[in-house]
Structure 1
Amino acid sequence: MNKKRMLAAAIACATLFGVSAQSEAAYQLNPEVKDATMALKSASEIGVLKYENQEMQNLPDKDAIVVMTFGTTFKDTRAKTIDATVDAIKAAHPGVKVVTAYTSHIIIDRVKAKEGITYPTPEEALDQLKADGYTRVALASLDVIPGMEYQYDKGVFENYKKNFKKMTLGTSLMYWQGQENQADDVTETLKALSTQFPELGKEDALLIMAHGTPQVSNAYYSVIQAKIDEMGYKNVFVYTVEGWPSLETVMPKLKKNGIKHVTLMPIMMVAGDHANNDMAGADPGSHKSILEAAGYKVDAYIHGIGENKAIQGLYVRRANDAWDALEK
């Protein structure tokens, strides 16, 4: 499962950073740097993160995996996406305790009120694991890109890493972009996603709906579109609900290319509120209604990417990266 992931350091930073062949980090500090400051160490923390608490090395290994996800109040899609993906991770690690934790506190409250099911926050899950004597924890993320939710995951890692003998944090589904000798998670994900693409004629288009984020990682959507174009997919466009590009951004492209029929498809773990309402709802403001009002015939593929077996396999690999770093 391991791939050598390397990032060429910029010439201006060559005296500070060196290239690393480790699978669990993008690069490491140059060996010439003898007394690195905390800021310099933080700047080099890219990729799968790992922390070893030297004061706890005498403790026996008792391992667990915490799978962090935003969560959903949509019960049916949860079973097909989040639960199915977590089950796949469990199957890859028989005998290891695997805990599902929701990063959305609002979702946790709503699921508890509606279904009587209590999902822990990552913090609560780690507090319980600590109380139960677990000493090594691999954190896995079901985020699509390293956006705001993934920053939460990193915050959990930073705040809890010293509570355990060893802790690691895996990357989001799409993280590496293929520059230099890095893996190309974006292309890899698009290949997996393409297994559910409809066949497109000259007058057909596929609009892939992403979430969007106010964070700078919103730029990933430009990379995704560039990779789509590089891979030769015609009239396939990515847009976002809460970021850039928006539906209004891509609609002129449909007109320019003579499109008459559009399929809408989410690139989100679950088919929740955004997919069912913002994308495919009957409200006049939904994407489907807007496109229909503009004269297009519209179909909607209302399935979270967590249902896609190929995508599940990639999430297992991301979890495996965190686990492998825990084992080293």
Structure 2
Amino acid sequence: MKKAVLVVSFGTTYHDSRRKTIESIEQAIKDELKGFEMRRAFTSRIIIGILKNRDGIEIDGVSEALEKLYKEGYTHVLVQPTLVMGGEENDRMFSAVEEYKDQFKTIICGKPLLSTEKDYERLTTILTDDTREYDEAGTEIIFMGHGTEHVANEAYERLAGVFSRREFDRYHIGTVEAEPTFQDIMEQVKKTDSTRIVLQPLMIVCGDHAHNDMAGEEDDSWKTQLEEEGYQVICRLKGMGELSGVCQILVDHAMEAKGEMEEVE
């Protein structure tokens, strides 16, 4: 029996963020899954291409990674995503796994970060603990999510609902590419008397969206728009993958999948 864990991430072209987030998560999963070979795959073909052409770094897509594992004689494969939710990237991962399901004795997928109600509760605690020093009168804390047209986009409203239910009223969640929009969050903020805003990515890595759309100097960045409204803005360029609690949720999901794999055997 040859066992492998394939850790699947969207990816990033920012090396420092990759080391602090993706590689940290991979190592934590490897440490827990004794006897499993650890492999990496990215879902973003654009990022894979940039890393290859710009830096000479070769990273497999999910299908390529599974093909290699098959050719190398692995029989049991656990695929663990580091994705925030079960959106388009997760669907593509599942499609690739489906194509290879007959090539392995067992192949099982773990859950993305936000999958159960417990995950939402845990993430709320992790994020509020991480930003505790800013949670005071006069300050609003805004998390920037990616956003998607996929039905999984409801995860942002669901997470915001947990913040609200637990009376973390200074916390807000917006997205770059879907809803809630930045304008939606601005309407919420303007109803307060706060003069200071903290911005932080609600993404595993701290990549282009965080550096440019959130904290960039261009006119349309969240930082610039808030400053033009007169707010003092603090940008925390910190991916969620840097937080030990987030890493632990993903490790727990991998261990749950390992349990399912053992039940099948």
Match of 1:213 among 148, 151, 162: 148
In structure 1, how many angstroms separate the alpha carbons of the residues matched to 2:79 and 2:46?
A: 21
In structure 1, how many angstroms separate the alpha carbons of the residues matched to 2:229 and 2:7?
A: 42
By relative contact order (CA 8 Å, sep 6+), the higher-ranking structure is 2
Is 2:25 the partner of 1:90?
Answer: no
Is 2:49 the partner of 1:115?
Answer: no
In structure 2, how many angstroms separate the alpha carbons of the residues matched to 1:260 and 1:75?
A: 34
Partner in structure 2 of residue 135 of structure 1: 75
In structure 2, how many angstroms separate the alpha carbons of the residues matched to 1:310 and 1:97?
A: 24
The Cα of 1:109 is off from its aligned counterpart by: 1.1
Match of 1:189 among 119, 123, 127: 123
Match of 2:216 among 253, 262, 281: 281
In structure 1, how many angstroms separate the alpha carbons of the residues matched to 2:19 and 2:236?
A: 18
Partner in structure 2 of residue 166 of structure 1: 106
Partner in structure 2 of residue 241 of structure 1: 176
The Cα of 1:99 is off from its aligned counterpart by: 0.4
Contact 1:193 1:311 in 2 (8 A): no
Contact 2:63 2:97 in 1 (8 A): no
In structure 2, how many angstroms separate the alpha carbons of the residues matched to 1:194 and 1:318?
A: 22
In structure 1, how many angstroms separate the alpha carbons of the residues matched to 2:185 and 2:201?
A: 15
Is 2:165 the partner of 1:230?
Answer: yes
In structure 2, how many angstroms separate the alpha carbons of the residues matched to 1:80 and 1:195?
A: 19
In structure 2, how many angstroms separate the alpha carbons of the residues matched to 1:116 and 1:153?
A: 24
Q: Which runs of 5+ in 1 are unaligned?
A: 1-60, 178-183
CA offsets 1:95-144 (integer angstroms, 9 cap, x no match): 31010101111111111122211011111111111111101111101000
In structure 1, how many angstroms separate the alpha carbons of the residues matched to 2:36 and 2:106?
A: 15
Partner in structure 2 of residue 257 of structure 1: 192
The Cα of 1:187 is off from its aligned counterpart by: 1.0
Match of 2:252 among 285, 308, 317: 317
Contact 2:119 2:249 in 1 (8 A): no
In structure 1, how many angstroms separate the alpha carbons of the residues matched to 2:14 and 2:254?
A: 24
CA offsets 1:50-90 (integer angstroms, 9 cap, x no match): xxxxxxxxxxx211111111100001100000011101111
The Cα of 1:231 is off from its aligned counterpart by: 1.6
Letter in 2 for 1:268: M
Residues matched between the structures, number? 262
Identity %: 33
Is 2:61 the partner of 1:126?
Answer: no
Contact 1:89 1:319 in 2 (8 A): yes
In structure 1, how many angstroms separate the alpha carbons of the residues matched to 2:189 and 2:124?
A: 21
Contact 2:3 2:35 in 1 (8 A): no
In structure 2, how many angstroms separate the alpha carbons of the residues matched to 1:87 and 1:240?
A: 29
Q: Which runs of 5+ in 2 are unaligned?
A: none
In structure 2, how many angstroms separate the alpha carbons of the residues matched to 1:171 and 1:216?
A: 16
TM-score by length of 2: 0.96
In structure 1, how many angstroms separate the alpha carbons of the residues matched to 2:60 and 2:259?
A: 25
RMSD across aligned positions (CA) = 1.0
In structure 2, how many angstroms separate the alpha carbons of the residues matched to 1:104 and 1:163?
A: 24
TM-score by length of 1: 0.78
Structure with more helix by fraction: 2
CA offsets 1:305-327 (integer angstroms, 9 cap, x no match): 11111111111111112222112
Aligned-partner SS, 1:269: coil
